[in-house]
Amino acid sequence: MDLPVDEWKSYIFQKWSLLPKSIQDTISTADTLKDIFLHSSSLLQPEDETFLKSLASGYLVGKDPNAPPFYREEGNKKFQKKDYVGATVLYSKGISHARPHTADISLCYANRSAALFYMDEYEMCLKDITRAQMHGYPESLQPKVTLRKVECLVTLGRLQEAGQTIRDLESNFAAKPTVAAAQFQILQRNLCRLKMKVQERERLTATFPTTLTKIFEDMDLREVNEQIPCASSSVSLCMDPLRGRYLIATEDILPGELLVKEDAFVSVLNPGERPPLHQGLASKWDTRITNGDLYCHRCLTHTLAMVPCDGCSYAKYCSHECMQQAWGLYHNRECPLGGLLLTLGIFCHVALRATLLARFEGASKVIRKLSGEISNKDMCSPDSETPVHTLRSDLGGESEENGNIVQTPVPGCDVNGKYENNYNAVFHLLPHTEHHSPEYKFLCALSVSALCRQLEAASSSKPDAAAPPILCSELSTWGVAMLKHMLQLQCNAQAITTIQQTALSGSEENNVTNSRQVRLATGIFPVVSLLNHSCSPNTSMSFISTVATVRASEKIAKGQEILHCYGPHHSRMAVTDRQQKLRAQYFFDCSCPVCQKEKHRATIGPRWEAFCCGHCGALLQGGDVLSCGSTSCMESVSRDHLISRVQDLQRQVGAARKLLGNSQLEQAIQLLLGCRHDAESFLSPEHSMVGEMEDALAQAYAALGDWQKSAAHLQKSLQVVEAQHGPSSVEMGHELFKLAQLFFNG
């Protein structure tokens, strides 16, 4: 997903292994990104490009005139089953393949408007009716969508428009009586009904409530920070040679206070699972729902009424305005390369888009730095973004010379010392070139080189006023910039997440839903990238579309560093696993307080992985052989034996969940109760496996409508969640919301 597809990676790694050692050494020891790029790209042969094109051609990203009728028919099947969301997505897929001003696109828009109408999405329904008419919706079907339009207008309280639409429709009937008699009578009855509805609504004196303000969307930072416009005035940017750039509190900060609110400089939607053609699919047209079908490819807004790019079937947007903005900023270059970008992965796509966006900031001088004889080390000095937690916070960006305090310039800031969300800040994020393996740098360089050549070919074959042809001299500069961004992303890419809810059980009236955090996109946030890591951070991050908000999750004292978790959180991963992941991805060993503390108690392990003595119930501790922690008990047992028992429980719980999915509730409950009885003999009450069993039991009883038993089991699951993730965690919030639904239903 982030990196190129496995076939291309294997191909390039094999190519690397076959290179003469002298060439490998030249690339491995190259002092500049320019040298790495030029040496690598000179090795890209026509047969390499041919192989890459064959991989890219497996993705259906162009317009296929045979696809709209297929998707419309599949959507109609969903519509008849009252699966309006599924129908809407399938109609959208048909729209994305249809050419403008054709019967196919107008019929898909009209059908989608019907599905949206039954979902009470009246505003979106109206827009789709307008789009259907704009693209030449058949005149014989116009009365049908016009009546739907009136229904929407009446429901929305736009009575004057509804009345005018009715009068226009009556005039059309009188002028062109082309409707059959029986159909005309039905339309007349509907018109009479709607006119009465309009008159009734006009008599109502109650006013419609105004839309409530979305608090988190509209909440701004308390005061403007003159140094970092995207940050609160209660934080300040500092730097020292070892810790790099970091943020500290300039005053006491309370839990919940908004510290950073930053829009991504660049973001790319995670396309979800998109297998190449004929790979595991019954048809070449995919009917599955992915992120690309539900979220705008520019602003990441959730929508069921996508507006597609006119040139490809892949890029889809929440509105015509978003589509136009994306086209002007970057999609005019990306449009013909959709299959290639899916093949090369999200990191390559983000690198391209960041470079394209740089053109609009006049950043060509910044990019051209990369074409000069500047070493990787010198280009980024004195910045180092490898987090260290053993230095004092008051070092800041100052050094002492001859007894005088000298302010050190902070990379990424402008001449006035301001650090903004712009390309200059992105440029100064470290690529950590010296830490990446030679094979990885070769993969990135050849991927970027192949992309540059396709950019040149596409711009030459289809000249566009908004996207003039790219010169070869420009491409080498762009290539070096893209290579730097691709290397930056391993340490500086930020996963943009959203909360998705799935139904667990119950009828439509009293459904119980489960919430989970899913990755929606990948972006670069220059200010968020200033935050150093801690396995027990003092902030939490959330997203609204492409905007990241960072809030204090606990009290932060003046002078204390603002810390963020890079992924390996102490409540979700053991200390050895965290250290391994941080070292592999971010190139540092974490020495935060929680890591130091857990290293001393590694023999016991976290509570959610702990075993207990089957004889006395005390916790077991040790290495390969675990001994009872009670001084009065001499029990001991092999760790491998206990792990084998856990794996057996996992298989049984998996089988129980399958029974739940097949509505075999009583059998699932009996199996889960047996598992729970077995677990009590060797697992700690706070073991994650115990929580999983209790959660499954809660789901089963909720499906039976036994809300009391369901809530009792979920409360036991909550104890495990609290032990593992903490009382203020987002996981705890999700589970408490489920419990609230159970209490409400009961």
Q: Which of 432, 335, 300 is nearest to 376 (CA)?
A: 432
Mean pLDDT of the 170-183 span: 62
Phi, psi at residue 589, to the nearest 5°? -100, 125
- Residues 472-481: tens digit of each pLDDT: 567 788 899 9
Q: Which one-letter DSSP state was computed for residue 608?
A: G
Is residue 704 within 8 Å of residue 510, measured between CB atoms? Answer: no
> Can you tell me the distance from the alpha carbon of 476 to that of 670, in angstroms, rounded to the nearest whole number?
66
Q: Which of 109, 80, 82 is nearest to 93 (CA)?
A: 109
Evaluate if residue 11 carries a pLDDT over 90: yes
Evaluate if residue 252 carries a pLDDT over 70: yes
Q: Which amino acid is at 510?
A: N
Q: Which one-letter DSSP state was computed for residue 611?
A: B
Which long-range contacts (C-beta less than 8 Å, at least 24 apart) are formed by 215-219?
A: 216/542, 216/544, 216/549, 217/544, 219/258, 219/261
pLDDT grade for 336, boundaries at 50, 70 and 90: very high
Which domains are delineated in the chain?
A: 612-745 (1.25.40.10)
Predicted pLDDT at 401? 43
Element (H, E) at 719: helix 707-725
Predicted pLDDT at 211? 43
Whole-angstrom CA distances from 56 to 8, 46, 276, 514 are 10, 15, 8, 37
| Bridge partner residues of 516 (DSSP) | 500
Q: Pick the most confident of 152-161, 484-493, 500-509.
A: 484-493
Mean pLDDT of the 378-389 span: 36
Q: Where are the beta strands (DSSP E) in 127-233?
A: none
- Residues 555-579: tens digit of each pLDDT: 999 999 999 999 888 877 888 888 9
- Of 106-115, 164-173, 199-208, least confident by mean pLDDT is 199-208
Q: Which of 363, 351, 289, 230 is nearest to 74 (CA)?
A: 289
In this prediction the pTM is: 0.83
- Of 84-98, 148-162, 277-291, 340-354, least confident by mean pLDDT is 277-291
Predicted pLDDT at 305? 93
Taking the CA atoms of the chain, what radius of gyration do you get in angstroms? 30
Q: Which one-letter DSSP state was computed for residue 389?
A: S
Say if strands 532-533 and 563-564 run parallel, antiparallel, or are unpaired: parallel
pLDDT grade for 392, boundaries at 50, 70 and 90: very low
Evaluate if residue 135 carries a pLDDT over 90: yes
Number of other residues whose CB lies within 10 A of the CB of residue 180? 9
Mean pLDDT of the 307-336 span: 94
Predicted pLDDT at 670? 95
Evaluate if residue 717 carries a pLDDT over 90: yes
- Of 26-40, 116-130, 599-613, least confident by mean pLDDT is 599-613
- Of 202-206, 217-221, 607-611, 655-659, least confident by mean pLDDT is 202-206
Predicted pLDDT at 150? 87
Q: Kindly tell me the burial class for residue 215, based on how many C-beta atoms sit within 10 Å of its own C-beta (0-12, 13-18, 19 or more).
A: exposed
Evaluate if residue 624 carries a pLDDT over 90: no
Q: Which amino acid is at 665?
A: L
Whole-angstrom CA distances from 545 to 89, 293, 302 are 20, 15, 8
Mean pLDDT of the 371-388 span: 40
- Of 115-129, 400-414, 727-741, least confident by mean pLDDT is 400-414
pLDDT grade for 377, boundaries at 50, 70 and 90: very low
Predicted pLDDT at 213? 37
pLDDT grade for 194, boundaries at 50, 70 and 90: low
Evaluate if residue 22 carries a pLDDT over 80: yes
Predicted pLDDT at 272? 73
Relative orientation angle of helices 438-461 and 472-492, to the nearest 10 degrees: 140
